[in-house]
Amino acid sequence: MKPVRVGLLGLGTVGGGTFNVLCRNAEEIARRAGRGIDITHAAAREYDAARLPGIENIRVSDDAFAVVDDADIDIVVELIGGYEPARELVLRAIANGKHVVTANKALIAVHGNEIFAAAQARGVMVAFEAAVAGGIPIIKAVREGLSANRINWIAGIINGTGNFILTEMRDKGRDFADVLAEAQQLGYAEADPTFDVEGIDAAHKLTILGSLAFGIPLQFDKVYTEGISHITREDVNYAEQLGYRIKHLGITRRTTAGVELRVHPTLIPDRRLIANVDGVMNAVLVNADAVGPTLYYGAGAGSEPTASAVVADIIDVARTLTADPENRVPHLAFQPDALSDLPILDMDDVETGYYLRLCASDKPGVMADIARILGDGGISIEAIIQKEPQEGEQTVPVILLTRGVRERQMNAAIRGIESLDSIEGRVTRIRLEHLSSR
Q: Which of 191, 253, 194 is nearest to 228 (CA)?
A: 194
Angstrom distance (rounded) from CA 366 to CA 131:
49
Angstrom distance (rounded) from CA 385 to CA 12:
49
Q: How much is the pLDDT for 327?
A: 74
Residue count (the chain): 438
Is 154 in a helix, a strand, or coil?
strand
Neighbours of 421 (CB within 10 A): 8
Which residues are part of the catalytic machinery? 205
CB 158 within 8 A of CB 284: yes
Burial of 192 (0-12, 13-18, 19+ CB in 10 A): exposed
Angstrom distance (rounded) from CA 79 to CA 306:
11
Angstrom distance (rounded) from CA 336 to CA 339:
6
Q: How much is the pLDDT for 158?
A: 97
Report helix angle 160-172 to 176-186, nearest 10: 130
CA distances to 171, 175, 214, 288, 432 from 248, in Å: 16, 16, 22, 22, 11
Kindly write down the DSSP assignment for every residue of 325-348, as one continuous string.
Answer: GGGSPPTTSS-GGG---PPBPPGG
Q: Which of 123, 27, 40, 130 is nearest to 76 (CA)?
A: 40
CB 249 within 8 A of CB 154: no
Give phi and psi for 37, each to the nearest 5.
-125, 115
Spell out the per-residue pLDDT of the chain, length 438, in tens.
899 999 999 999 999 999 999 999 999 999 999 999 999 999 999 999 999 999 999 999 999 999 999 999 999 999 999 999 999 999 999 999 999 999 999 999 999 999 999 999 999 999 999 999 999 999 999 999 999 999 999 999 999 999 999 999 999 999 999 999 999 999 898 889 999 999 999 999 999 999 999 999 999 999 999 999 999 999 999 999 999 999 999 999 999 999 999 999 999 999 999 999 999 999 999 999 999 999 999 999 899 999 999 999 999 999 988 667 777 888 888 889 889 999 999 999 999 999 999 999 988 899 999 999 999 999 999 999 987 777 667 889 999 999 999 999 999 999 999 999 999 999 999 999 999 865
In this structure, which amino acid lies at residue 37? I
Q: How much is the pLDDT for 438?
A: 54
Angstrom distance (rounded) from CA 233 to CA 158:
22
Helices (H), 231-383: 233-241, 303-319, 366-376
Kindly write down the DSSP assignment for every residue of 44-103, as one continuous string.
Answer: -S---GGGSTTGGGSEEES-HHHHHT-TT-SEEEE-S-SSTTHHHHHHHHHHTT-EEEE-
Burial of 220 (0-12, 13-18, 19+ CB in 10 A): buried
What domains, with CATH codes, occur in the chain? 4-135+303-338 (3.40.50.720), 138-298 (3.30.360.10), 350-432 (3.30.70.260)
Kindly write down the DSSP assignment for every residue of 2-35, as one continuous string.
Answer: PPEEEEEE--SHHHHHHHHHHHHTHHHHHHHHSS
Query: What is the C-alpha end-to-end distance of the chain, expressed in Å?
Result: 50
CB 385 within 8 A of CB 398: yes
Kindly write down the DSSP assignment for every residue of 88-136, as one continuous string.
Answer: HHHHHHHHTT-EEEE--HHHHHHHHHHHHHHHHHHT--EE-GGGSSTTS
